[in-house]
Copies of this chain bind each other. A is one copy, B any other.
C-alpha cells in the first residue's frame, strides 16, 4: 500500500512550479517551469535510488532494477506538463503516484522480478506544440524524432530549440528504452465516476481524435464606411463555422464532441472589418466512422458559408489518432487489483487522449481512472480528493506488482 499523505504532500510540493493565482498551473511543455519540475523529478527519482535517463525528445525514464535483468521493465507514469489553464492533477497524479509506488516498494524492501520504469512523457498536452502526446507517439513509431523536433509553437520556436532552452534534449534515441507493459493512472477528466459514486475506472481504451487547422480569408475594410452587404468579414465566417461545428457534433450525440479552441484575427483593430481568421478544431468520438462523418458533414457545410460571405475557407487535418483498445491482460490486472483492494469500479472509455493510447500500439497497456470534481479538467479549479488519489496509486502499485512478478 502507498503512503497517501506522502503522495498528497508531493502533489502540493510540485504545484509551486507554474502555480497560477487562481490555484491552478500554467506549465506549458518545455517552458522554464516545466524545466523546474523536471529537475525536481530527476532529483526525487535519484533520491529514491532510481537511474534517470533522458531521450532525444526530453522524455524522462527512471529505472528500478528487478531480480531478473533479462525481463523488460513494467512501465508506468504520465506527464508533468499542463494546459495554460491547467490543474494540479492532470498527468501529474500519474507521475507522482508512480514515484510514490517506487518509494513504497523501497520502504517495504520489496524487489520485483521485472525492472520497473517510471516515465514522464514530453508534451502530452498538445497546447504549445501539436499534436498532443507527441513524445509517446514518437516512442510508438507514429512519428520520427526529427518530425517532432521540427514542430513549432505559435512563436515559431521548434521543439528542438525548446528542449535545448531548458537543457532537456537527451542523448538516448527515442524508443531505445524497451518496455514490457505500460500502466497509466489519471484523473478521469469527465463526470461519470463521480456521478455514479465509484472510485476506480478500469479503462478499456481511448476514443479517436482529429485535429484541424483552419484559415478564413476575407478582406480588411473600414468599419465605418464599408456597407454591410459589401463586407467579406472573416470573423462572421468563423462564427458560422463554429456554430456549424457545434450543430454537427450534437447531431452525433451523446458520444461526439467538437471544439474550436483557438481563434485569432490576423491584424485585429476595432475599426477594421476582420480580413483573416485562423482557428483550430478538435473532434472526438469513440468510433472512427463518426470522426469521418463529422469531418465530411463539416466540409460539406463550408462552401455555402464561404460563397454567401465571399470568403476563402481552408481546413487542413493536421493529426488523427484512431480509437484505440487497451490490452485485455493489463485491463484484467487493473480490475483484479481494484477488486483485491475492495474498490468500487466500472469499465469505461477515455474521452481524453493519453500517452497510454500511443503506447498501446506497441506494448500491452491499460489505464486506471479516479474521479475528479464535477468532471472538470483543463481548468484551474480541477480537483481530486486525497483518498481517491491514494486509491488510484494503490491500484497502480498492485497492478504493477502483478505484472512485474507474473
Check B235–A260 contact: CB distance below 8 A. yes
Contact with B along A237-272 (1 / 0, CB 8 A): 011101100100110011011111111111111111
Check A270–B126 contact: CB distance below 8 A. yes
Contact with B along A252-295 (1 / 0, CB 8 A): 01101111111111111111111100001010100000000000
Check B353–A224 contact: CB distance below 8 A. yes
- Residues of the B chain whose Cβ atoms lie less than 8 Å from the Cβ of A94: none
Name the residue of chain B whose CB is nearest to the CB of A277.
B263
Bound CA–CA A265/B267 (angstroms): 15
Check B238–A127 contact: CB distance below 8 A. no
Tell whether A387 is near chain B: CB-to-CB under 8 Å.
no
Give the shortest distance, in Å, between A89 (CB) and chain B (any CB).
12
Tell whether A399 is near chain B: CB-to-CB under 8 Å.
no
Check A226–B268 contact: CB distance below 8 A. no
Q: What total of chain A residues lie within 8 Å of the partner, measured CB to CB?
A: 73
Tell whether A188 is near chain B: CB-to-CB under 8 Å.
yes
Name the residue of chain B whose CB is nearest to the CB of A266.
B85
- Residues of the B chain whose Cβ atoms lie less than 8 Å from the Cβ of A229: 253
Of A37-45, A176-184, A325-333, A375-383, the one with at least 4 CB within 8 A of chain B = A375-383
Check A271–B127 contact: CB distance below 8 A. yes
Check A271–B225 contact: CB distance below 8 A. no
If A191-B230, A220-B85, A261-B274 touch, whether A375 touches B225 (CB-CB below 8 Å) is: yes
Tell whether A190 is near chain B: CB-to-CB under 8 Å.
yes
Check B225–A188 contact: CB distance below 8 A. yes
- Residues of the B chain whose Cβ atoms lie less than 8 Å from the Cβ of A376: 219, 221-222
Check A262–B270 contact: CB distance below 8 A. yes
Name the residue of chain B whose CB is nearest to the CB of A190.
B225
Bound CA–CA A118/B189 (angstroms): 64
If A228-B257, A257-B227, A267-B84 touch, whether A189 touches B222 (CB-CB below 8 Å) is: yes
Contact with B along A20-47 (1 / 0, CB 8 A): 0000001000000000000000000000
Give the contacting residue for A228; candidates B127, B253, B270; CB below 8 A: B253
- Residues of the B chain whose Cβ atoms lie less than 8 Å from the Cβ of A173: none
A-B contact pairs, 15 of them (CB 8 A): A83-B271, A85-B269, A85-B275, A127-B269, A190-B222, A220-B378, A223-B259, A226-B257, A229-B253, A238-B239, A239-B239, A240-B243, A262-B265, A262-B269, A269-B378
Other contacts beyond A223-B259, A271-B378: 16, CB < 8 A: A83-B272, A84-B267, A84-B269, A188-B225, A190-B225, A209-B224, A224-B282, A225-B377, A227-B257, A228-B249, A228-B256, A228-B258, A229-B253, A236-B243, A261-B269, A263-B265
